[in-house]
Structure 1
Amino acid sequence: MPDATRSAALGVFLKPAARVAAGGLGIGWAAAILAVLLAGGSDLRIPAQMWLVAHGSGLVVGEAQIGVVPLGLTVVAVALVALVAHRVARREIADLGPFAGAVGMIYGISAAILSAVTSTDDVMTSIPRAAIGGLLVGAAGSAAGAGWRHRATFAVGEVPALLARGAGRALALVLGVSLALILVLLGLHGQRAADMWGLLDPSLGGAFVLALACLLSLPTLVVWAAAVLVGPGFALGTGTTVDLTGSYLGAIPGFPTLAAIPAPGPFPPWVFVLGLVLPAAGIWCGLATPRVRVGAGAGAIGGLVLGLLMAVSGGGIGPGRMVEAGPPPVMPLIVAVLILAATGALGSLLAHYRGRRASRKPSESDRFGLGRWLQSPGTD
């Protein structure tokens, strides 16, 4: 390929990729700066570090290590990149992979540089985690935004579509039930949440930022509730656990949305019914297709995504006993993949059996022996 042609081909996706990365970075930093100013802060390194934490960089403040990925902020970061990509990618993109990869590389390198520049002896963020998180956020957001704008260009095969549909069903049911549980518990423990808010005593601007932080913390709590439905549960301090058997915790941080966590003690026996949510999600996933292997694959994909969400949602949230919080990193993933794959295959078997019965079901005329009399006459 001549140099001029190669340069033109690279420019087709490098220029818009750079614009998408710059737009996502600029809007994200501006939003973080606004939040810090409303809260009364003045150090410009704080917005940058907050933006990096949203991308999974973690944060070390003295002896306190914050390793939890705030999934709500991560979703916002992906959505911002997707919106910019949807607007920038006006021309048809022939190959979505190089475009998303270029955005991810630029985004990840920028996050790594920002992490190195803003880290001090007292407050540090992880450069490798910032680079990997930025790469994933930039690639996922740009692929979603540009792919949706040019969705008519990219044809999806039947099997990938069935896999995505089945996995989406499983995730929607598990996370939907988890969200309902969190909202119900917040409603039941509203006075406790109000007391925690009062102890923090935020200013007017701080109240807005605290309300936003509470809203953005809900996705993490939903994933933790899903870990309870899967089985292993989650911890909120060393040696603590919340699972289907009960809540065995000590003192918890005074953050309002943590009021949704049940009071310490064993749960009533009926709570074990919630353990049926995961198998039910797998069966509903498999009912999307009568192909057993596709149903099992869709369930496995749904379990993998669910397990990865649980893995990244855990980590330290403070010093001392708070170095352990969230679900364990590996066990929920294994349990979710195995159960959803097995029940997904079962759901596909049920769909296959239902389809065969429907194809063999006689019509009303056949039941009375009138089928051959009501047939259209032949040429004879």
Structure 2
Amino acid sequence: MACVIQMTARRSPLSLLLSRMRDRSPGLAASLLGGAVAAGLGLGSFAVLVMVLWVSSPYPDSGPGGALHIAAALWLLAHGVELVRTDTLSGTPMPVGLTPLLLLALPLWLVHRAARDATDASAEPDGPPPVGARTAWTGVVLGYLGVGAAATLYCSSSELRPQWVWVTVCLPLVAASAAGTGVWSAYGRPPEPVLSVLVVVPGPVRRLVFGTDARARLGAAVRAAGAATAVLFGGGALLVGVSLVWHGEPARASFLQLTEGWTGRFAVLLLGIALVPNAAVWAASYALGPGFLLGTGHLVHPLASHPAPLLPPFPLLAAVPGPGAGTPQNWAAGVVPAVAGMTAGWFVARAAVRRPASGAPARARWSAGRTAGVVLLTALVCAAALALLAELAGGPMGVAALARLGPLWWQTGGAAGAWTLVFALPVALTARAWRLRRRRRHRGGIPAQATETGAVTGAKSGAVQSTAAATAATATGETAEAGETEDAGPVAATAPDTVRADEAPADEAPVVAAGGDSPDGPADAADGGGEADGAAGRLRLRGRGKGTATGGTPAQAADTSGADEEPYGVLPAADPFPTSYPSPFPTSFTEPFPAGWHDDVARASRWAALKEAAGTPEDGAGTAPSPDPAPEPEPDAGPRPDAAQ
């Protein structure tokens, strides 16, 4: 017992701290492991690629250790870490900071997946609760940074070594941002973390730009800016492809000049593919106007192109326009940002005017002033996105003239925001007015669908009205107030018998319960006769699926069932020989009396359906009484119909 006490007392404070963190934060160990695995998968992918190229190379410069050092350095370069080459001809270290954006996509995706899986959110309703967001995020980031620190130490003594300043900035930033998006998506993308960033915005500016519906406006601005950024990126890639085709011979010569073996050419091809997103951003900045730098003081933009310094032969560099003043062919690149701005304006207009349902009139969500505010917010978001892409797509490739390659982030971002604001604002306001004009036109008259789906035609309305009056004589007041059948929806007994088209909701067609008036005709609820006829019509329409009304006598039911089937106006079933008639009076139909309505087969099937719904035997012996007993009449309901007889 004393030995156990002594061993417990000798436990280090670090082990006690780890045990307490494990007990208080379940899932931390799994998160740490997930982050480490994500970093290991990224390193392994780069190592496999570099080792394959090293093995297949006919003239390897170093052994397997050198290849693994290059793989670790490339993995750090993919995170934006600037490297330093020490094996130069002049002996002066040369910086390498141009990050291929396609290589950056792999670490971002791996960390995002690791953080999303670290929450361990179960799809089952009764499953265990997910791991806390802070726990999952902390574990993934710490596990990833642990492997990153080991990789930095491993390649710090090689010929291509990372700079520790960039390691301490870029590696945690990439891991933290990607893990944050992963945890956020695992929790269903709640808006609260995004809206909490708006606290740094001053109160008057926040109320002016965002208003009370900050979530809706910010979401619309982000979607519109994302669409504009996608158009700019895709347009830039299209410009690169067109320029490569235009300068096809110089590009082919530079590709063959770099190396002779198929292994080297394959490596150049992979490098060119990894740099295609960078070239697309460069071309987008060229179309926006600021252009890009091919070395210090050598600017390339649509109006003019300065002579570039002596650059190494590379296929993507062969697509750069030649030196000299710009031509109309160069100016045509301005179509790309114009289309991007119009796309953003269209997205804002769609968010400003909503359509509640299919076929329903549109409604204005924001006023014209607020729509302009959302366009301004869209321009700001688009400017921030292009500035970030421009900063990531450029970097140094040496000293002196090669100290900077690529677009300047502040110029590219400002130009993107200006183009978006100029072209998105008129498009958004015009599209908003056009969508609202369609709404006013829809409200100005009766929809064409209403005369087809919402009302009974005048040819049959008289017959329905006469049959409804006959049925109302055999019904009690309680039945007229009750109101529901198994198939038809509830109908208010106190509502007027005719619903006017201008009083009906915009997304519902007007329904005429009884009577021959058109949807534009006056309602007859004011006088007593119209009220009685309306009540009788409503009773008849609701009870059409049954042979008798509640409270009627069998004799009267037989008289009603013995009448001609024409006054019923029942729609034919989809099956020419129906066995059941579930909906005696559908709420909408296209043609009330199509062809074949009066032939013998249709009349026989229709009559059989009516008899079956009313419970009438096939031999015509009479109508079976209703299984429900007749309710007691109200004191003011008047004499019962059977007593009157």
**TM > 0.5 fold call:** yes
**C-alpha distance in structure 1 between counterparts of 2:273 and 2:240, whole Å:** 12
Of stretches 337-346 and 36-45 in structure 1, the one that deviates more from structure 2 is 337-346
Query: CA 1:112–1:5 in structure 2 vs 1: closer, same or farther (change >3 Å)?
Result: closer
Partners of 1:4 and 1:125 in 2: CA distance: 35
Matches of 1:250 and 1:54, distance apart in 2 = 27
Distance in 2 (CA, whole Å) between partners of 1:89 and 1:203 is 48
The answer to whether the aligner puts 1:226 opposite 2:284 as a matched pair is yes
Q: Distance in 2 between matches of 1:117 and 1:346?
A: 56
Secondary structure of the residue aligned to 1:11 is: coil
Q: Deviations over 1:33-69 (max 9, x none)?
A: 1222223253122111111111111111133211222
**164, 189, 195: which is aligned to 1:154?**
189
Instruction: State the Cα RMSD in Å.
Output: 3.2
Q: Does 1:10 align with 2:25?
A: yes
Matched, 1:331 2:411: yes
Which residue of 171, 190, 209 maps to 1:134?
171
Shift of the alpha carbon at 1:341?
Answer: 4.3
1:69 aligns with 2:88: no
Cα shift readout 1:63-97 (whole Å, capped 9, x = no counterpart)? 32112222111112212333444555542546646
Matched with 1:36 is 50
C-alpha separation between the residues in 1 aligned to 2:336 and 2:294? 23
Q: Say if 1:105 and 1:135, in contact at 8 Å, map to a contact too.
A: no
Match of 2:379 among 281, 284, 299: 299
- Corresponding residue SS for 1:124: strand
Partner secondary structure for residue 242 of structure 2: helix
User: Is the aligned partner of 1:114 residue 2:173?
Assistant: no
**Kept in 2: contact 1:185–1:261 (CA 8 A):** yes
- The structure-2 alpha-carbon separation of the partners of 1:137 and 1:309, relative to structure 1 and needing over 3 Å to count, comes to same
Structure 1 residues 378 and 120 mapped into 2: Cα distance closer, same or farther (>3 Å)? farther
**Residue 313 of structure 1 is aligned with which of 388, 393, 412?**
393
* Structure 1: distance between partners of 2:216 and 2:140: 29
Q: Decide whether the 8 Å contact of 1:170 with 1:299 is kept in 2.
A: no
Task: Quote the residue 1:359 is aligned against.
Answer: 439
Out of 262, 265, 268, the position equivalent to 1:207 is 265
> Alignment partner for residue 253 of structure 2, among 171, 195, 200?
195
Match for 1:59: what amino acid? L
Following the alignment from structure 1 to structure 2, what is the Cα–Cα distance between the partners of residues 160 and 103?
Answer: 29
Query: What is the match of residue 476 of structure 2?
Result: none
- CA offset at residue 6 of structure 1? 6.8
Q: Does 1:274 align with 2:288?
A: no
Gaps of 5+ in 2: 1-17, 55-61, 87-92, 123-129, 192-214, 353-370, 452-500, 503-517, 526-645
Label 1:229 to 1:20 Cα distance change in 2 as closer, same or farther (>3 A).
farther
Q: Which has the larger radius of gyration?
A: 2
Equivalent in the alignment of 2:76:
52
Question: 1:58–1:67: 8 Å Cα contact kept in structure 2?
Answer: yes
Is 1:25 equivalent to 2:55 in the alignment? no
TM-score (norm 1): 0.85
Residues 101 and 187 of structure 1, relative CA distance in 2, 3 Å threshold? farther
1:262 aligns with 2:286: no
Q: Secondary structure of 2:84's partner?
A: strand
Change (3 A) 1:58 1:187: same
3-state DSSP of counterpart to 2:312: coil
Hey, what does 1:124 align to over in structure 2?
161
Q: Secondary structure, in 3 states, of the residue corresponding to 1:68?
A: coil
Against the structure 1 CA distance between its residues 253 and 104, is the aligned structure 2 distance closer, same or farther, given a 3 Å change threshold?
farther
With normalisation by structure 2, the TM-score equals: 0.52
Which piece of structure 1 moves more, 62-71 or 133-142?
Answer: 133-142
**Cα distance in 2 between the residues matched to 1:270 and 1:199:** 29
Aligned to 2:591: none
State, as a whole percentage, how many aligned pairs show the same letter: 24
What does 1:244-263 correspond to in 2, within 5 Å? 244-248=302-306, 249-263=308-322
User: Counterpart of 2:316 in 1: which secondary structure?
Assistant: helix
Matches within 5 A, 1:76-115: 76-85=106-115, 89-92=119-122, 93=130, 96=133, 99-100=136-137, 102-108=139-145, 110-115=147-152
Q: What is the SS of the residue equivalent to 1:20?
A: helix
| Partner of residue 198, structure 2 | none
In structure 1, what is the Cα distance between the partners aligned to 2:233 and 2:330?
A: 17
d(CA) in 1 for partners of 2:406 and 2:42? 26
SS in 2 for 1:256: coil
What is the alpha-carbon distance in structure 1 between the residues aligned to residue 328 and residue 171 of structure 2? 44
Inter-partner Cα distance in structure 2 for 1:215 and 1:358: 48
